[in-house]
Chains A and B, each alone.
Chain A
Amino acid sequence: MNKKKWGIAGKIVVFLLIVMVGIHVLNCLFIPKWTLPEDNRITSIIEGFYEEPENSLDIIFLGNSDVYRGVSPIYLWREYGYASYVRSTPGQKLWVSYYQLLETLKYQTPKLVVFAVDSLFNEEHSGEGNYRKTFDPMRLSAVKIQAILDPVFEFDFDTKSSYLFPFIRYHSRWNQLTEEDISFYSRDDKHFPHKGMDMSGDIKPYEGGYSYMEDRGETVAIGERAGKYMELIIELCREKGMQLLFVEIPSTDSWTLAKSQATTVYAQEKGIPFIDLNLATEDFGFDWLLHTSDNGDHLNVWGAEVVTSYLGRYLSENYELPDHRGEASYSRWEEDTLIYEADKTALELVYK
């Protein structure tokens, strides 16, 4: 190439770079900021994950809304010194969990993955809103692109483009932009003290007790699509030397005895331990009248602490996980604990 051609090529590159920067700014500006409780604070949760120091987390909780409402990483820290984070988004399907785990492993080297299994029985796609809440706050990376292009999502060309460049989806918000949209990504502290937990103080009892777990003579099978991605998660855990634990958090909406039995068989086949907290085989202090925020579908913060207390005991008895309390590099966890407690107290004042 002669000098003139190099000059033109250089100009094209610079122009395209400016366009790319402009598109990035548009993405940041136009993606909705899901920071409120009604949006499950999902943007804050995902942003907060990226803020965690690399390779600082030992446990990753994976699953759907049952997990971010039913597990309290700060409780686990306070009681056992375990560093964990909940990597769950609303209606998270198994194929989403797989990519969430892949994305997690780019930043962390957990020793244990705790996977909430009810999505094993769900082959249906999530609504667009749920996929959006998963992908839009996710950083642009090879994993994100791989996920968007994965045929499992059945995205057409335009949808794929809009996940890659979310402003395509949200550009019509141009007359609804707020101060928060402009300043959100430039704020100093993106840390999320609740570590992926969506804390709820609502108490809306479920009065049926454990009747949802009665034997109705049904049989269920693990879905083909979900099964395939479960295998990929198991394989990934093996490959990376991570232990995998199956768990099912109490949920009257998403769980049945048939699912529990099918999971038990599957877990035994795969040699993966499985704890089903819906079976009520022992009294660990859980009460459907006090610990659910929406009549049995999800747990409130007090329910989450009861469940986490049980899980913490189980983990301490069955795994060798480090207690980081007192370590200088984990000092921020102590501050997070104080914030968590203050937030919980505030909820107690309002709801209890």
Chain B
Amino acid sequence: MIAYHSLQFAVFFLVVFVLYYTIPKKAQWWLLLAASVYFYWTASGALILWLLVSAGLVWSAGLGLERIAADGSARIKAGKGVLSKEEKTKIKETVKSKKKAVLLATLLFVVGILLVLKYANFFGSNINKVLQVAGISAGIPTFSFVLPLGISYYTLQAVGYLLDIYYNRYGAERNPVKIMLFLMYFPHIMQGPISKYNELSEHLFAPHKADHDQIMFGFQRVLWGCMKKLIIADRAAIFVNEVFGAYGKHGGLAIFIANLLYILQIYAEFSGCMDIIGGASQALGIPLVENFERPFFSKSVAEFWRRWHVSLGRWLRDYVFYPLNMSKSLMRLGKKCRMAIPGQLGKCFSLYIAMLVLWFVTGFWHGASWKYVVYGLYYGMIIIMGMQLEPTYQHIVEKLKINTSCRGWKLWQMLRTFFAVFIGMLLFRAESLKTAAKMVLTMVTQLQVCKLLDGSLLTLGLNYADFIILGMGTLIMFVVSLLQEKAIRIRRLLADQALWLRWLVYLTALFVLLVYGAYGHGYDASDFIYGQF
């Protein structure tokens, strides 16, 4: 597999980049397809067949859905003035049911592949446990499927495309090869972002002239992403892996710092990866949807999730939450609850149900275990509790005459959100729920702050100099985020500077990355965490 932060990817991308701007513009997207097939093939070999089958199926289902709708409209149009209202309704219902059948059959297959390959063992082991309780010993065997690269991402994109066609949001694509490229476009195949077909295709298949600014900004962003990944994330990972790998050996302080570093690691790594691929795609003239919007400035958990893994949140909102929340059954339930249950709970009950489903799916998407389900529901419950207690909270704030527009209050909200994320990330990183609970307990009961000074923290993989580099890297990342938060366009700002200053910045960044990056010998450079999804 070619990791996005590797020299191999750099060479691969530079070859694609040079060819992209030298071949005829009409052939550019064919080159991207060839590059994507090569990229996918090197990582997954023959497993590419799963993706091709999904692409073929989604393409034909898209056309089928469109044809069914067009046939229905044509029949109604042809029968204008002849057909009765009932007959028109009947045609519409027939169209709807046919579309639903095509949609469900396709979803069953496309999502089914994901469910079988990724979740079969989870379902199997749980069914076995239930059977065991019932006294039945015949068990479902354990499978050892190899997951095709990016299956969790391309499946969501495929489902999104199908649902958009189903809801008539845009027309179906006639060219199956374009669907193939949409699903397997090499910058987003491994870790997203999860793109929508109508947004991406606009740029993906359009001819692109080399644009100096776009190319410069793209490469700058790639460099910035590599710095986040190699200087911060991979360095933090050394300490994190050491402590999480043997949490029993270390006191509460080490666990506390390891979890802080894990949050730093996962953010620098995931957002760094998005910078690398986003920058690479930008250099090709193809903008990708943003996946991170400085989530640690969030003042609530709900806001955090609107800023963290944005494209996943958007997908779940558009294709899980909205359809569910607007479904007839939940609407009916909501109506009943509003009348039967007084107050906030009655008002929001159906919404809470939809949210619980949403967060269940969020957790489950992250991994095939109960730990991830709890991880998702944990955030769901915090958001629901927040909504439920909002009136009480507002009342207290008013009574205490707290100035909610002051910086201190906003900082408190950010810290409160960070604390919730701190626990969430611990759940995510810990081996199991039990381990997470033990680690929290150790933090609470054996914090041992004195270890901060006795040098024991320097025996966990990172020395003093590493901590300095990590600290400086984090500080720079924070300052950059702060400037971005204030809507200052750093790359534009840099582009307006004199050539010598720009080059000084680029060269310094490049050589700082080469020297201080935690890659190669002496460091256990890891693949991107989100690459396994």
Q: For the complex, is A254 an interface residue (Cβ under 8 Å from B)?
A: no
Q: Determine if B511 and A172 form an interchain contact, defined as CB atoms under 8 angstroms apart.
A: no
Which of B465, B506, B507, B520 is the one whose CB lies under 8 Å from A171? Answer: B520
Which A residues are CB-close (under 8 A) to B465?
Answer: 174-175
The residue that B520 contacts in the complex, of A18, A23, A172, with Cβ under 8 A, is A172
A169 x B507 contact (CB < 8 A)? no
- Does chain A have a CB within 8 A of B521? yes
The docked-state distance in angstroms from the alpha carbon of A18 to that of B465 is 28
The digit string for A168-207, where 1 denotes a CB below 8 A from any CB of B, is 1111101100000000000000000000000000000000
* A interface, over-half SS: helix
**Bound form: Cα–Cα A274–B523 in Å:** 48
Any A CB within 8 A of the CB of B225: no
Known A158-B6, A172-B522; judge A18-B516 contact (CB<8 A).
Answer: no
Mark out the residues of chain B between 487 and 533 whose CB falls within 8 Å of any chain A CB in the assembled complex: 499, 503, 506-507, 510-511, 514-523
> A8 CA to B211 CA in the complex, in Å?
12
Residue pair B8, A26 in contact (C-beta under 8 Å): no
User: Using Cβ atoms and an 8 Å threshold, which residues of chain A touch B212?
Assistant: 8
- In the bound assembly, the distance between CA atoms of A22 and B508 in angstroms comes to 10
- Is B7 touching A157 in the complex (CB atoms < 8 A)? yes
> What chain A residues lie within 8 Å of B523 (beta carbons)?
172
Cα separation A158 to B6 with both chains bound (whole Å)? 9
Of B8, B499, B516, B520, which is within 8 A of A174 by CB? Answer: B516
Distance (whole angstroms) from the CB of A175 to the closest CB of chain B: 4
A8-B212, A157-B7, A171-B514 are known contacts. Are A15 and B503 too (CB-CB below 8 A)? yes
Q: Which of A22, A169, A170 contacts B511 (CB 8 A)?
A: A22
Q: Is the pair B520, A157 in contact by a Cβ cutoff of 8 Å?
A: no
A23, A161, A171 — which one has the most chain B CB atoms within 10 A of its CB?
A171
Q: Complex: how many Å from CA A280 to CA B7?
A: 54
Given contacts A19-B510, A162-B520, A172-B521, A157 and B515 within 8 Å (CB-CB): no
Q: Is the CB of B520 within 8 A of A169?
A: yes
Q: How many residues of A contact B (CB 8 A)?
A: 20
Q: Which of A1-51 contact B (CB under 8 A)?
A: 8, 11, 15, 18-19, 22-23, 26
Interface membership of A115, Cβ < 8 A: no
**Docked complex Cα distance between A218 and B514 (Å):** 52
The interface bits of chain A over 132-176 (1 if a CB of B lies within 8 angstroms of the residue's CB, else 0) are 000000000000000000000000011001100001111110110
Question: Which chain B residue lies CB-closest to A18?
Answer: B507
In the bound complex, CA of A175 to CA of B521 (Å): 14
Assembly CA distance A19 to B513 (angstroms): 13
Closest-CB distance, B231 to chain A (whole angstroms): 11
B517 touches A158 (CB 8 A): no
- In the complex, A259→B515 CA distance in Å? 47
Distance between Cα atoms of A72 and B517 in the complex (Å): 44
Say whether B515 contacts A171, CB under 8 Å: yes
A170 vs B521: C-alpha distance when bound (angstroms): 7
- Chain B residues with CB under 8 Å of A174's CB are 465, 515-516
Most-contacted residue by chain A among B212, B520, B522 (CB, 10 A): B520
Give Cα A181–Cα B293 distance, bound, in whole angstroms: 43
A172 and B520 alpha carbons, distance in the complex (Å): 8
Assembled-state Cα–Cα distance A140/B465 (Å): 32
Q: Give Cα A346 to B7, complex, Å.
A: 49
Give the CA-CA distance A19 to B520 in the complex, in Å: 20
A8–B499 CA distance with the chains assembled, in angstroms: 12
Are A169 and B8 also in contact (CB < 8 A) when A15-B503, A26-B514, A174-B516 are? no
Residues of B within 8 A of A26 (CB): 511, 514-515
User: Measured between alpha carbons, how far is A161 from B514 in the docked complex, in Å?
Assistant: 13
Cα–Cα, bound, A65→B506 (Å): 45
Encoded as 1 (CB less than 8 Å from any B CB) or 0, chain A from 63 to 100 comes to: 00000000000000000000000000000000000000
8 residue pairs, one from A and one from B, having the closest CB atoms: A172-B522, A175-B465, A161-B7, A174-B515, A157-B8, A171-B515, A168-B520, A169-B521
Between-chain CB contacts (< 8 Å), 22 pairs: A15-B503, A22-B507, A22-B510, A26-B511, A26-B514, A161-B7, A167-B515, A168-B514, A168-B519, A168-B520, A169-B520, A169-B521, A171-B515, A171-B516, A171-B517, A171-B519, A172-B518, A172-B520, A172-B522, A172-B523, A174-B515, A174-B516
A residues whose Cβ falls under 8 Å from a Cβ of B: 8, 11, 15, 18-19, 22-23, 26, 157-158, 161-162, 167-172, 174-175
